[in-house]
Structure 1
Amino acid sequence: MAKPRHLKSNLLLLLTACIWGFAFVAQREGMEHLGPFTFNAARFALGALSLVPLILWLDGRSGRSSDERGKEYKRGASAGIWAGIILFGGSSLQQIGLLYTTAGKAAFVTGLYIVIVPFLGLFLKQRLNLNNWAGALLAIAGLYLLCVTNDLSLNRGDLYELAGAFLWSLHILMIDKLSRTTDGLKLSLFQIVTCAVLSLIAALASETIRLADLSNALIPLLYGGICSVGIAYTLQIIGQQKAHPTQAAIILSMEAVFAAVGGYLILNELLGVRGVLGCLLMLAGMLLPQLPPNRDWRLARDTKGHQPLP
């Protein structure tokens, strides 16, 4: 049975996955009134504003000198700009894709980053295990059932989401490297600000921004900005402090399930039998690489009093 602190952490991560899953619904609803770049510019700006009070509060409690805090902000800005450029690419492709596909499908295709990351890690000389290969095969089979039409083609929205999944994978690898030498919240703040600025530039160049449209999309913007970016990110940090990394990854991957449920309940999106089967295969493909490889299972068994395996 999970310890109380681990149970609390898991519940916080599950709430995070729920917020992120329903954010796909908010993102799709928001584009009834706004273009994808305008929506992203507004929601990331709101997300950045929601993080500022938390960062200032933590700085006040840290006891560090102003010089030390200044150096942290400089490191955060330097790293956050590069991460924000990748974040801009991934979020833009995701938002554009939602113009042409459902919230549930977008979430499941985006979730393929969990499968893609280990394979991109090969370029960093990281090794793959059997779970990675099996998960990739399951995910590909699920993607086929969920997205490929009778003429063996992906629709435009699914292609955008698939391209975005590769950028989300690069983003994860970049954050993994940058976060080792940079304060996590400050890195997050500056990457969000960078994404908001780039989205605004793209919106000014390609879309018409009207206050009336922003007002009509206010609820999706507030949810996508404050809840999805500000609150959920904070909950993720708190939850992962006491949670096992593998459990955290598995729980957060439930984001796709919540997106499918939200799309059904709020947007009346139906997947059909083939789509549901594809979602199940993709979910299995996302979860399998997070489980310990066979050798880890054997070592775990050995530490419980069994005879060592040859």
Structure 2
Amino acid sequence: MTRVQANLLLLLAAAIWGGGFVAQSTAMNMIGPFWFIGLRFAVATLVVLPFVWLEARKAAAPLQRHDLRLFLLVGLALFGGAATQQVGILTTTVTNSSFITGLYVVFVPLIAVVFLKRPPHPIVWPAAILALAGIFLLSGGALSHLTGGDLLTVVCAVFWALQITLAGVALTATGRPLALSAIQFAVTAVAGIAVAIFLEPISVDVILSAIWEILYVGIFSSGLAFALQLIGQRYTTASQAAIFLSSEALFGASLGALLLGETISPIGYVGCGLMFSAMLMVELVPEIMRRRTLAA
């Protein structure tokens, strides 16, 4: 596979994830957020299971109990991210949700400081300030205009960063990405359904009314896009992968405007630009400096 083909696969993955924000938003007109989380990740689990079996057949050693405990923690972090994002999207726009969620790339190095005692690259600090300025402008230049959904989505980005950090540790220890995917999806499905049983009404008609959104995010956002990401990243550079995957926020905003008629103020566009710049800074600058050091 050529690098151009790989980058196109990553761009397709980002577009699928961007469409997922629209599906998550429209589904909230028909089904509760926790039922939606439980059902979408149940579908995602079923999609991944056949590949887990193939991976297990080729594995050098079976998973140990401590590996499964670590996978469980990753699943709980994924549930935290999914829950705060899905509840948040009830009172925020697809545009805001997609851009604010993307800030996990800024939070990942900060999470590594706390849990792994790993100092971040210096670029993280100006990028974090840039990201906060972007959120401020996205709110229209007044923090009072930030909705509860916007604030929950910031929390969601922290959970995504935690999930990515824990997943990195788990994959380094086991080398079993598909097993990790299935277990984290299953944990999130069980947790979502458990909460939904106590908080939200449900019926067959409700599920059927949101079935296309459930299937889209379950099969495509979780299954297909994840596979495209793994394949694409094998044949391109980390810096180029970061650029194409970060376009998820742009796709989410564009599809929100096209399909849902969402609008954003001129100052909000500036805020989106600042947040997108912060995402790229954190991903690209360390890689560029590393290459210069190696070339010197």
TM-score bracket for the superposition, by shorter chain length = over 0.9
Specify the alignment match of 1:245 in structure 2: 238
* 2:177 pairs with 1:184: yes
Q: What CA distance in whole angstroms lies between the structure 1 residues aligned with 2:104 and 2:6?
A: 23
Task: Give the Å deviation of 1:244.
Answer: 1.6
1:9 is aligned with what amino acid? A
Contact kept in structure 1, 2:98 and 2:248, CA below 8 Å: yes
Q: What CA distance in whole angstroms lies between the structure 2 residues aligned with 1:212 and 1:50?
A: 23
1:85 is aligned with what amino acid? L
Specify the alignment match of 1:40 in structure 2: 37
Unpaired stretches in structure 2, ≥5 consecutive residues:
none
Q: What CA distance in whole angstroms lies between the structure 2 residues aligned with 1:225 and 1:200?
A: 15
* 2:280 pairs with 1:296: no
Q: CA, structure 1 residues 295+258, in 2 after alignment: closer, same or farther (shift >3 Å)? A: closer
* 2:80 pairs with 1:83: no
TM-score (norm 1): 0.88
Q: What CA distance in whole angstroms lies between the structure 2 residues aligned with 1:120 and 1:76?
A: 21
Q: What CA distance in whole angstroms lies between the structure 2 residues aligned with 1:16 and 1:278?
A: 24
Task: Give the Å deviation of 1:154.
Answer: 2.0
Task: Give the Å deviation of 1:240.
Answer: 1.5
Task: Give the Å deviation of 1:76.
Answer: 5.9
Specify the alignment match of 2:87 in structure 1: 96
1:48-87 → structure 2 map (5 Å cutoff): 48-59=45-56, 62=58, 68=61, 71-72=62-63, 77-87=68-78
SS at the partner of 1:291? helix
1:227-238 → structure 2 map (5 Å cutoff): 227-238=220-231
Q: CA, structure 1 residues 298+129, in 2 after alignment: closer, same or farther (shift >3 Å)? A: same
Task: Give the Å deviation of 1:166.
Answer: 1.0
Q: Deviations over 1:42-64 (max 9, x none)?
A: 1000111111223334556x3x6
Q: Deviations over 1:232-251 (max 9, x none)?
A: 11111111222222222222
TM-score (norm 2): 0.92
Q: CA, structure 1 residues 120+206, in 2 after alignment: closer, same or farther (shift >3 Å)? A: same
Q: Deviations over 1:193-239 (max 9, x none)?
A: 00000000000010011110110111111101000011111111111
SS at the partner of 1:104? helix
Task: Give the Å deviation of 1:80.
Answer: 2.2
Percent of pairs with identical residues: 37
Q: What CA distance in whole angstroms lies between the structure 2 residues aligned with 1:156 and 1:94?
A: 11
SS at the partner of 2:144? coil
SS at the partner of 1:262? helix
Contact kept in structure 2, 1:76 and 1:186, CA below 8 Å: no
2:27 to 27, 30, 53: 30
Contact kept in structure 1, 2:99 and 2:272, CA below 8 Å: yes
Specify the alignment match of 2:197 in structure 1: 204
Q: What CA distance in whole angstroms lies between the structure 1 residues aligned with 2:186 and 2:68?
A: 10
Q: CA, structure 1 residues 6+75, in 2 after alignment: closer, same or farther (shift >3 Å)? A: farther
Q: What RMSD over aligned residues (CA atoms) do the two structures have, in Å?
A: 2.0
* 2:154 pairs with 1:154: no
Q: Deviations over 1:160-218 (max 9, x none)?
A: 10111111111111111111122010011001000000000000010011110110111
Specify the alignment match of 2:16 in structure 1: 19
* 2:117 pairs with 1:120: no
Q: Deviations over 1:141-175 (max 9, x none)?
A: 11101125646352111011011111111111111
Q: CA, structure 1 residues 148+172, in 2 after alignment: closer, same or farther (shift >3 Å)? A: farther
* 2:155 pairs with 1:163: yes
Task: Give the Å deviation of 1:75.
Answer: 6.6
